[in-house]
Amino acid sequence: MEKRIKKLEADECKYNQIKTSTNIGFNIILTILSLVCVIPFIFVVIISFTDEASLAMNGYRFIPEKLSFYAYEYIVSAGENILRSYGVTIFITVVGTIIGLLLTGTYAYALSRKTYAYRKFFTTVITIPMLFSGGMIANYLIVTKVLMLKDSIWALILPLCLNSFNIIVLRTFFKTSIPDAVVESAKIDGASEWRLFFQIVIPMALPGLATIGLFLTLGYWNDWFNAMMYMDNKDLIPLQYLLIQIESSIDWLANNKATMGVDGITAAANMPKETIKMAIVVISTLPIIFAYPFFQRYFVNGLTVGAVKE
């Protein structure tokens, strides 16, 4: 009997092992895919530090003939504007992500419970916006005339905090990952719905919440359209919209230099055109790159939290 058990264990280990050649092949494939993802961004960073005249003469190169920080100096020359815009973007990203996670999590959790009486009704409520949209004019009138959020920081937060797709994704995660036995046990022990949600459900749902949190963070950080629609106050302009304004100003000067006389031609000739576009990409992307490991940690930790014990 013992020999049979050992044989079964050996066979199981044999089938669970990966051949060395297969492992090497997978590593090579994953390395190539990683380089395909990373090299373009490295190339963008190199171009942003390349001299504009050298770039125009020699084209794009991984090893630039002449380095230059002028593109970043030109952006930083905005001084207080860019620092203030960074602060606005960080604020709306942090606050918006927290509010979005709270609203999305509570809505999705309610829909995931079979005992909730109005589950079908509120599922229909979130499904309709995925199929039909009121349009830009309706959104603008609601935000500015009904909610009175024109030139308010909340005009950059509230329109993005709740999304039908995020609710459906998180509802599915709750239904498949939160066992009914855990919920019933907590209720038998006298836990209220709020305590059940915050102390039991959230720790078990960290992978799903981290995923939705990443979606929200990317959405808030990259948003510029709402600022263009609802913001006239320059003190509340987020980073992305400020960078778009800088790029638009450069393009306008480059296209209309002939109408501005000798000074306009000289200024247009000295402005970075291609390098500043790459510098804008770097400035707007780096914070997200540093934020991703934070979410990645919760992906890993959340997978090991909570289970139904027999």
Reading the block at residue 91, the tokens are: 């604020």
Partner residues linked to 67 by β-bridges: 50
What does CATH list as the number for 75-303? Answer: 1.10.3720.10
Of the two residues 85 and 102, the one the predictor is more confident about is: 102
Q: How far is it, in rounded angstroms, from Cα 100 to Cα 224?
A: 18
> Which of 22-31, 213-222, 223-232, 278-287 has the weakest average pLDDT?
278-287
Q: What is the DSSP letter of 293?
A: H
pTM: 0.75
Note the pLDDT of residue 154. Answer: 92
Backbone φ/ψ region at 261: left (φ over 0), alpha (ψ -120 to 50), beta: left
Q: What is the DSSP letter of 79?
A: T
297 half-sphere exposure, CB direction, 13 A CA radius = 4
Give the number of residues written for the chain: 310
**What is the reported pLDDT for 8?**
53
> What's the mean pLDDT when you consider all of the chain?
79
DSSP bridge pairs for 50: 67
Give the model confidence (pLDDT) of 152-206 as tens digits.
999 999 989 988 888 988 888 888 888 878 888 888 888 888 888 888 888 888 8
pLDDT of residue 97: 92
pLDDT, residue 304, reads 43
Q: What is the pLDDT of residues 127-157, one digit of tens each?
A: 888 888 777 888 888 888 888 888 899 999 9
Look up residue 78 and give its DSSP letter.
T
Cα distance between residue 76 and residue 147, in whole Å? 35
CB 205 within 8 A of CB 302: yes
Distance CA 256, CA 243 (A): 20
Rounded Cα distance between 117 and 110, Å, is 10
What pLDDT is stored for residue 183 in this prediction? Answer: 81
Alpha helices, H only, 113-205:
119-131, 135-141, 158-161, 164-177, 180-188, 193-195, 202-204
The pLDDT, as a whole number, for residue 254 is 65
- How far apart are alpha carbons 142 and 99 in whole angstroms? 20
Q: How far is CA 81 from the centre of its chain?
A: 23
Q: What local confidence, expressed as pLDDT, does residue 92 receive?
A: 93
